[in-house]
Amino acid sequence: MPAIVLATLNARYYHASLGLRYLAANMGELESQTQIMEFILQHKPEDIIEAVLAAQPKIVGFGVYIWNVEETTKVVALLKRVAPEVVVVLGGPEVSYEYVEQEIVRLADYVITGWGDVSFPKLCRELMAGRPQAQKIIVGEQAALSDITLPYALYNDEDIAHRLLYVEASRGCPFKCEFCLSSLDKTAWAFDLDLFLSEMARLYERGARQFKFVDRTFNLNIKASARILEFFLARLDETLFIHFEVIPDHLPDKLKELIARFPAGSLQFEVGIQTFNPEVQALISRKQDTAKTEENLRWLRNHSQAHIHADLIIGLPGEGVASFAQGFDRLAALNPHEIQVGILKRLRGTPIARHTETYGMRYSPHSPYTVLATDRIDFATMQRLVRFARYWDLVANSGRFPLSLPLLLGDSPFARFLAFSDWLYAKTRQTHQIALDRLFDLLYIGLIEAVAVVQAEAYAALACDYAQSGAKGAPAFLKPVESNKAQLMKTKATHQATRQLRHIAG
């Protein structure tokens, strides 16, 4: 039986905890007595405790994050009720800052703030030797990256076959965007690249094909970025998928040459725009060359096959609806494959808190601590924008509506989609659990009623989208009036409307 269990609650099974594997890989002589247990948010707390206690551990370490803190609090509370003798150690970003009033911290025996690679094994050695520590809160020691054992051998065969593998070539970030925990870093630190790539080669040889880099600034060091891209180009096959977060205004020709060589489906870039408003950028300490960002996004869409996922944030201090709308339309004109519309979160410890009173920022007290209102956006309007973000993800980011979406957005994407969003919520009072066939029907009616698209055009585009989706249902809109049937026959005969719509959709 393991003496130490490392546990966390992932959002989905598809995710695999990199943090737990780092801890396990650095346990030294205690590694053989350490077991990783991963759960998902849908698991019942009682079932999690039963599984953990079946291992008869002396120490249980929990990774605590913004997405699992509420569920993990319940788990820890139950664990301390039924097995108070088990030592509970917490770590992770959610308990590294502003921890004094947190219930989960009160329940635990120890909390390690910040980096845990060295500090958690050290604490376990002391506890296993019968030497409890006087301090409950332990400030994590930031070791040199060369002293940290890489964890990739601890991805097992099931992980490689069925899960997205998280990897990192560097830690930290030199930028100071105040909404991000990485703003607290002094700089970025790189792992030894030869060692890192040798670990990636071993994963690849074992069959790994899904790699998500968690580096905050993948393209900060161009020489290192180029070597990583060259590494994967040498191993291209039809199943390879790599995800990077990139700085949007830093894409020199060397990287462009390499990016252009990747085929469709193999490369995804997460591009943080967040806001186009220069005054808001300055307010939150975000440095971004907007003109260069737009130039690079155009290049990526026109000269590469990389999938572009671009981020915008609603509710930043100093930004109202009109400013966000202008930024949204500006980004939509650049035609990324996805626009992730996020709602500002006040992560514990981030400097964004300094704007709370000045800009009337009101945040939810519950994770994920999203903004509820600001001096520029009242609560009712923020609720509308939250629904806008949800419906945008459901419709625009789904990829199911390549011909219908341009009709919906027209030449005023934000205004038209907000009108559709308001209409859809009034019609359904739902933001989740909308079945696909029903969504097609709602979009058909919404195109006509909310944004005044000609009925025959709405039918032609949606009918083609439904056919291309591979769905086998029978949505109601596919039983049209005779004029719509005639329009569809004309569309199929000439393909002209379809080609035009595809061209608009990019």
pLDDT at 193 over 50: yes
pTM, entire model: 0.91
**Is residue 257 domain-resident?**
yes
Q: How confident is the model at residue 481, as a pLDDT? A: 52
Whether 127 and 43 map to the same domain: the answer is yes
Whether the Cβ atoms of residue 417 and residue 392 lie closer than 8 Å to each other:
yes
| 175 and 129 together in one domain | no
Q: In this structure, are 173 and 284 located in the same domain? A: yes
Residue 391 lies inside a defined structural domain of this protein: no
Structural domains counted in the chain? 3
CB 306 within 8 A of CB 300: yes
Judge whether 383 lies within some domain: no
CATH code where residue 175 lies: 3.80.30.20
Q: Based on the domain organization, do 174 and 230 belong to the same domain?
A: yes
CATH code of the domain containing 51 = 3.40.50.2300
Distance between CA atoms of residues 179 and 285, nearest Å: 9
Using one digit for the tens of pLDDT, what is the confidence trace for 307-357? 999 999 999 999 999 999 999 999 999 999 999 999 999 999 999 999 999
Query: How far apart are the C-alpha atoms of 335 and 332, rounded to whole Å?
Result: 5
Whether 489 has a pLDDT exceeding 90, the answer reads no
Domain boundary among 144, 176, 199: 144
Q: Specify if 390 maps to a domain.
A: no
The predicted-structure confidence for 257-293, as pLDDT tens digits, reads as follows 999 999 999 999 999 999 999 999 999 999 999 999 9
> Does 244 lie in the same domain as 306?
yes
Mean pLDDT of all residues in 435-461: 97
- C-alpha 479/C-alpha 452 separation (Å) is 20
Q: Which of 370, 320, 324, 376 is nearest to 344 (CA)?
A: 370
> Distance (Å, rounded) from C-alpha 417 to C-alpha 20?
41
Answer whether 337's CB lies under 8 Å from 309's CB: yes
Distances 111 to 106, 137, 357 between C-alpha atoms, Å: 10, 5, 30
pLDDT band with cut points at 50, 70 and 90 for residue 493: very low
Query: What domain range is 426 assigned to?
Result: 398-506
